[in-house]
C-alpha cells in the first residue's frame, strides 16, 4: 500500500512539474519584428568598415551590428524607431601617449545620432525588409 501511495504521489509531482515547465516553453512566439535590410552610401553597400545601428523608441533602445555588404538584421519589438547609423574605418584607439585617435567616419556624421539623423523605421510584427540609401 505504501509503495502504491509513494508511486502515485511521485507521478503526480512529475506531472505537475511538467505542466509548469511546459508553460515556460510556450509554442506561441513573442510578438516580434524580424527586421532585415541593406545600407548603401552613394549607391554602394557599406563595405570595409566597422558599424552599428541604434534603434530608439519610446519603450526600447536596441543595437545591431552592420555586417559585410551593409546588411543588418535585428529582432525588435514592434514599434516606431528613430535610427542612428555609425560606420567608421576602424575603432577609436589610444596611442603610446594615451591620446585618443578617432576612427574616420565613412558616412556623414549626422546619421550617427538620433537627434540629427532623420532616419526612421516602423517595425511591424513578422518579417520587415527596410533598406537605407544614404546620400
pTM: 0.72
In this prediction, residue 45 carries a pLDDT of 97
Residue 9 lies in a domain: no
What mean pLDDT comes out for the span 93-103? 92
If one counts the domains in the chain, the total is: 1
Does some domain include residue 7? no
- Which residues 6+ apart lie within 8 Å of 46 measured at CB? 39, 40, 66, 69, 70, 87, 106, 107
For residue 75, give its domain range: 33-134
User: Does 110 fall in a domain?
Assistant: yes
Report yes or no on 45 lying in a domain. Answer: yes
Q: Residue 62: give its domain's CATH number.
A: 2.60.40.1120
Confidence (pLDDT) at 59: 83
Q: Residue 122 falls within a domain, yes or no?
A: yes
The pLDDT score that the predictor gives to residue 5 is 47
User: Which of 131 and 90 is assigned the larger pLDDT?
Assistant: 131
- Tell me if 105 sits within 8 A of 88, measured CB to CB: yes
Distances (CA, A) of 59 to 79, 81, 106: 8, 10, 30
Closest to 35 in 3D by CA, of 20, 57, 15: 57
Q: Which pLDDT value is given to residue 28?
A: 42
Q: Give the pLDDT confidence of 15-61 residue by residue, as tens digits.
A: 555 555 555 554 445 799 999 999 999 999 999 999 999 999 998 89
Structural domain contains residue 10: no
Is residue 130 included in any domain, yes or no? yes
Amino acid at each position: 500500500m505504501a509503495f502504491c501511495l509513494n508511486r502515485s504521489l511521485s507521478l503526480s509531482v512529475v506531472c505537475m512539474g511538467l505542466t509548469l515547465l511546459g508553460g515556460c516553453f510556450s509554442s506561441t512566439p513573442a510578438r516580434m519584428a524580424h527586421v532585415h535590410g541593406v545600407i548603401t552610401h552613394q549607391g554602394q553597400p557599406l563595405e570595409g568598415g566597422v558599424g552599428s545601428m541604434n534603434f530608439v523608441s519610446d519603450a526600447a533602445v536596441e543595437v545591431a551590428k552592420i555586417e559585410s555588404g551593409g546588411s543588418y538584421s535585428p529582432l525588435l519589438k514592434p514599434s516606431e524607431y528613430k535610427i542612428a547609423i555609425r560606420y567608421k574605418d576602424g575603432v577609436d584607439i589610444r596611442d603610446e601617449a594615451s591620446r585618443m585617435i578617432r576612427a574616420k567616419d565613412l558616412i556623414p556624421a549626422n546619421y550617427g545620432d538620433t537627434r540629427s539623423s532623420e532616419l526612421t523605421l516602423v517595425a511591424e510584427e513578422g518579417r520587415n525588409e527596410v533598406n537605407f540609401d544614404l546620400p
